[in-house]
A and B are shown apart, each in its own frame.
Chain A
Amino acid sequence: MPELTGEELARLREKLAELASDLNRTLGRLDETARQDYRDAEKSVIDARRMVETREGLLRVG
Chain B
Amino acid sequence: MRPWVHPDLSCWVRRPQSEQDWAGLAAEYTGGEERRPLNQVFDVAREGGCRTVVIENRYVDVDYRSEFTAFWSLKFDNQSPFARRFHFFAADLDENRLHDLSGEEKESYLGYSIVRPVPHGRVGRTVLSPPPELDGATLTEIVDEVSFFGNPLRVKGVPFCEQDSEFLRCAHAAAWICHYTAARRGHVGRRSTAEIVELSPTALSPERALPSQGLNHNQLQVVFGALDQPALLYGLSHLPRVVGVEDPVSPDEEDAAEETPAGLWDTRMVSIICRYLNSGFPVLIGAEDHAFVLVGWRRDDEGQVQFVACDDRVGPYELIPSPFQHYKTPWDSIMIPLPPKVYLSGESAEGRAHEIFRSFAAQTEQLRDMEEGLVVGSIELRTTLRTCASYKHAVGELTRSDKILRLLRHARLPHWVWVVEAHDRKLCEAAEPCVVAAAIFDSTAFDSEPPLDILAMPGMTIVYPPDEADNVRSDGSAKPWGSLLTVH
Contact surface of A with B, Cβ cutoff 8 Å: 1-2, 4, 8-9, 11-13, 15-17, 19-21, 23, 26-27, 29-31, 34-35, 37-38, 40-42, 44-49, 51-53, 55-62
Contacts and interface: CB of A to CB of B under 8 A. Distances in A.
B432 interface: no
25 contacts: A1-B369, A9-B478, A11-B365, A11-B366, A20-B455, A27-B355, A27-B356, A30-B359, A34-B358, A41-B351, A45-B347, A45-B348, A51-B238, A52-B237, A55-B332, A56-B217, A59-B286, A60-B214, A61-B171, A61-B216, A61-B287, A61-B291, A62-B170, A62-B212, A62-B289
A20 B456 CA distance: 11
A34 B357 CA distance: 13
A31 B452 CA distance: 20
Contacts of A8: 366
A21 B163 CA distance: 56
B235 to A, nearest CB: 4
Contacts, number: 180
A49 B214 CA distance: 23
Given A8-B366, A61-B171, A42 B358 contact: no
B213 interface: yes
Contacts of B237: 51-53, 56
Interface in B217-276: 217-218, 220, 232-243
Q: Which 9 A-B pairs have the closest CB atoms?
A: A62-B214, A62-B169, A52-B235, A61-B291, A56-B235, A48-B240, A45-B240, A51-B238, A44-B241
Contacts of B459: 4, 9, 12-13, 16
A13 B235 CA distance: 44
B235 A46 contact: no
Interface of B: 163, 169-171, 174, 205, 212-218, 220, 232-243, 286-291, 332-333, 345, 347-348, 351-352, 354-356, 358-360, 362-367, 369-370, 436, 447-449, 452, 455, 457-460, 462, 464, 471, 473, 475, 478, 480
Contacts of A2: 369
A26 B359 contact: yes
A1 B478 contact: yes
Contacts of B362: 29-31
A4, A15, A16: which has the most chain B beta carbons within 10 Å? Answer: A16
Given A1-B478, A58-B216, A42 B364 contact: no
Q: Is the interface of B mostly helix, strand, loop or mixed?
A: mixed
A8 to B, nearest CB: 6
A8 B480 CA distance: 17
Given A45-B242, A49-B234, A61 B370 contact: no
A4 B366 contact: yes
Contacts of B240: 41, 44-45, 47-48
Contacts of A20: 455, 460, 462, 471, 473
A9 B170 CA distance: 57
Name the residue among A19, A46, A47, A48 with the largest chain B CB count within 10 angstroms. Answer: A48
Contacts of A34: 355, 358
B460 A17 contact: yes
Given A23-B464, A45-B345, A59 B234 contact: no
B214 A47 contact: no
A23 B449 CA distance: 12
Contacts of A1: 366-367, 369-370, 436, 458, 478, 480
A34 B243 CA distance: 10
A17 B163 CA distance: 57
B270 to A, nearest CB: 16
Contact of A45 (B170, B447, B480): B447
Given A30-B358, A61-B286, 15 more contacts: A4-B366, A12-B367, A26-B359, A26-B363, A29-B362, A37-B243, A38-B351, A45-B241, A47-B240, A48-B235, A52-B217, A52-B233, A52-B235, A60-B213, A61-B287
